[in-house]
Amino acid sequence: MRKVYHKITQISGSVITVEAEDIPYGTLAEVTSGEEQDTSLGQVIRLNGKEVSIQVFAGSRGVATNSKVRFLGRPMEVSTSENLMGRIFTGSGYPRDDGPAVQDDMVGIAGPSVNPSRRIIPNKMIRTGIPMIDVFNSLVESQKLPIFSVPGEPYNQVLARIAMQAEVDTILIGGIGLKYDDYLFFRNTLEQHGALSKAIMFVHTAADPTVEGLSVPDLALAVAESYAVNGKRVLVLLTDMTNYCDALKEVAITMEQIPSNRGYPGDLYTQLAQRYEKAVDFEGSGSITTLAVTTMPGDDVTHPVPDNTGYITEGQFYLRNGRIEPFGSLSRLKQQVNADTREDHRAIMDTMIRLYASCRESEEKQAMGFRMSPWDEKVLKYGKLFEQRMMDLRVNIPLEEALDLGWKTLAECFEKHETGIKTDLLNKFWPDNT
């Protein structure tokens, strides 16, 4: 029987302080208030002499100065067994479905980083059938990539669509502050596509205590890591990481940390990086690819959450007006794969975006009532076609078809030399309209 401590000296926000001795940093604790069934998990986040501060996942509501605290002597763990497949758990790792608790092959969450010298250069493209991704910002196995989105955009739909189309062995879904409807949406989508059996969900919903959401990425990533080491290609979906950051903020403020920017703690970058950097391609084994949702409060990309995220992830997809924006969207790994797809891939990618930028300029001029030059007319026509054929999220075609469509579009709008493409590529790919 583990020792029980009663002397709680401070209760503030989600953090309580109890007097105890010989407690290892980071260990889990069970906090029981009132009746036995009211037990919540917590984690030791500060030691000061005999004072032990515990972050209580369910928050401190109802905790009394004589509540019972029992230390488990180990950090948070999660099962990595095959039996997780098809199961749904809470942010504390308890079953959310009707299935039994899974206790085999437990590992500690938030384990050590991969040794950079053992990493390899990612080289496998993940095809999505979405031209804005495949052509312009190719997704690569082991990439970590967020969808930057204003609240209200169909980001979970995009996430689910990529997940259903991607060829992976296991899908891990981590929901942080997920709306119950969205949780059901993910579950139904997986079911419809017969993918539930290769999926594992850790879901913290908007109705659950905020702090409980903090464990979700670590739980999902610890499972992903174990699967990947054992040869599985794992796709991790995290939605919404802004909720995760807000939970961090809440804890930091309770701990009276000096905020660095709009209330967020100074280590926000490090906290996010430790999660996102779990994405990896293990040489001779499996991989972890992470797609996340980052909603941008006020559509402001300089807000600390998207800003810190963008500095960490390998690009981002901007979702705006139901489309993936060509500007601001970026896959930093695209050059690892787009040299080997087709020789015209890069030229089409660069040229079409550059010309679409010209289109936006001409649109501005037009909006100000200026006369449109012949060039303006050309790029405006081009812009329309670009939006229809490339940007519309309903378009679902393989990369090669999209590249051909790109050449067709250019040839319908421009003379060869107006594209700025190298002459040898023009000679090879420019469609003959004769």
Partner 1 sequence: MAEQTKVGKVIGLNGNMVTASFETSVMQNEVAYICVDGTRLKSEVIRVRGDEADIQVYEMTGGIRVGDKVEFSGEQLSVSLGPGLLTQVYNGLQNPLPQVAEEAGFFLQRGLYMEPLDREAEWDFTPWVEVDDEVQAGDAIGYVPEGIFKHKIMVPFDWRGRWRVTSIAEAGKYCIDNTMAKVSNGREEREVTMVQDWPIRKPISAYKRKHLPHDPLVTQQRIIDTFFPVAKGGTFCTPGPFGAGKTVMQHALSQHSEVDVVLVAACGERAGEVVEIIREFPELNDPRTGQSLMDRTIIICNTSSMPVAAREASVYTSVTISEYFRQMGLNVLMLADSTSRWAQALREVSGRLEEIPGEEAFPAYLESLIAAFYERAGLVELKSGEMGSVTIGGAVSPAGGNFEEPVTQATLKVVGAFLGLSRERANARRYPAIDPLGSWSKYTPLVEAEQVEKARDVLQRGNDIGQMMTVVGEEGTTIGDYVVYLKGEFLDSVYLQQNTFDEVDCATSQERQQYCFNKIVDVLDADLEFSDKEEARNYFGELRQKFVDWNYAAWDSEEFKKTEQEIDEVLQRKKSA
Ligand X SMILES: Nc1ncnc2c1ncn2[C@@H]1O[C@H](COP(=O)(O)OP(=O)(O)O)[C@@H](O)[C@H]1O
In this chain, which stretch among 97-105, 151-159, 235-243, 327-335 interacts with partner 1, using CB under 8 A? 327-335
Q: Which residues bind ligand X (CB under 6 A)?
A: 330, 332, 335
Of 75, 67, 71, 95, the residue nearest 83 (C-alpha): 95
Pairing of strands 28-32, 233-239: unpaired
Residue 121 makes contact with partner 1 by CB under 8 A: yes
Query: Encoding tokens for residue 79?
Result: 């099962």
Contact of residue 50 among partner 1, ligand X, none (CB under 5-8 Å per partner type): partner 1
Place of tokens 């502050």: 177
DSSP-based three-state secondary structure for 101 = coil
How many residues sit in the footprint of partner 1 (CB under 8 A)? 78
Query: Encoding tokens for residue 185?
Result: 């949406």
What DSSP line would sit under 275-306, residue for residue? HHTT-EEBTTS-EEEEEEEEE-GGG-TTSHHH
- 3-state secondary structure string across 324-352: ECCCCCEECCHHHHCCCCCCCHHHHHHHH
d(CA 128, CA 162): 6
d(CA 426, CA 183): 48
d(CA 92, CA 101): 12
Q: CB of residue 76 vs partner 1: minimum separation in angstroms?
A: 10
Q: CB of residue 228 vs ligand X: minimum separation in angstroms?
A: 24
Of 202, 171, 186, 172, the residue nearest 91 (C-alpha): 202
Residue 420 makes contact with partner 1 by CB under 8 A: yes
Question: Closer CB to partner 1, residue 259 or residue 297?
Answer: 259
Question: Closer CB to partner 1, residue 1 or residue 367?
Answer: 367
| Residues 81 to 110 in contact with partner 1, rule: CB under 8 A | none
Residue 367 makes contact with partner 1 by CB under 8 A: no
Residue 427 makes contact with partner 1 by CB under 8 A: no
Residue 192 makes contact with partner 1 by CB under 8 A: no
Q: CB of residue 423 vs ligand X: minimum separation in angstroms?
A: 20
The residues, ordered by sequence, that sit 6+ positions from 181 with a Cβ below 8 Å of its Cβ are none
Contact of residue 32 among ligand X, partner 1, none (CB under 5-8 Å per partner type): none
Q: Are 110 and 96 in contact (CB under 8 A)?
A: no
CA distances from 4 to 30, 38, 62, 71, 158 (A): 10, 15, 18, 8, 48
In this chain, which stretch among 34-42, 82-90, 111-119, 395-403 interacts with partner 1, using CB under 8 A? 111-119
Taking CB under 8 A as the criterion, the residue among 35, 98, 116, 433 binding partner 1 is 116
DSSP-based three-state secondary structure for 104 = coil
Pinpoint the alpha helices (H) of 210-256: 216-229, 241-254
Residue 430 makes contact with partner 1 by CB under 8 A: no
- The residues with which 39 forms a beta bridge, in sequence order, are 32
Residue 129 makes contact with partner 1 by CB under 8 A: no
| Residues 12 to 51 in contact with partner 1, rule: CB under 8 A | 21-27, 46-50
Query: Encoding tokens for residue 9?
Result: 């000296």
Q: Are 325 and 318 in contact (CB under 8 A)?
A: yes
Q: Are 176 and 208 in contact (CB under 8 A)?
A: no
Question: Closer CB to partner 1, residue 122 or residue 174?
Answer: 122
Question: Closer CB to partner 1, residue 113 or residue 192?
Answer: 113
Residue 371 makes contact with partner 1 by CB under 8 A: yes
In this chain, which stretch among 188-196, 287-295, 348-356, 379-387 interacts with partner 1, using CB under 8 A? 348-356
Question: Closer CB to ligand X, residue 285 or residue 335?
Answer: 335
Contact of residue 302 among partner 1, ligand X, none (CB under 5-8 Å per partner type): partner 1
Q: CB of residue 373 vs partner 1: minimum separation in angstroms?
A: 6
Query: Encoding tokens for residue 351?
Result: 């040229």
Question: Closer CB to ligand X, residue 193 or residue 332?
Answer: 332
Pairing of strands 125-126, 39-48: unpaired
Contact of residue 229 among partner 1, ligand X, none (CB under 5-8 Å per partner type): partner 1
Q: What are phi and psi of 152, to 5 degrees?
A: 100, -20
Residue 346 makes contact with partner 1 by CB under 8 A: yes
Question: Closer CB to ligand X, residue 96 or residue 144?
Answer: 144
Cα of 276 vs its chain's centroid, Å:
8
Q: Would you give the binding string for partner 1 spanning residues 244-283, x where CB under 8 A is met? A: -------------xxxxx----xx-xx--xx--xx---x-
Residue 234 makes contact with partner 1 by CB under 8 A: no
Taking CB under 8 A as the criterion, the residue among 311, 384, 398, 428 binding partner 1 is 311
Residue 327 makes contact with partner 1 by CB under 8 A: yes
Q: CB of residue 332 vs ligand X: minimum separation in angstroms?
A: 3
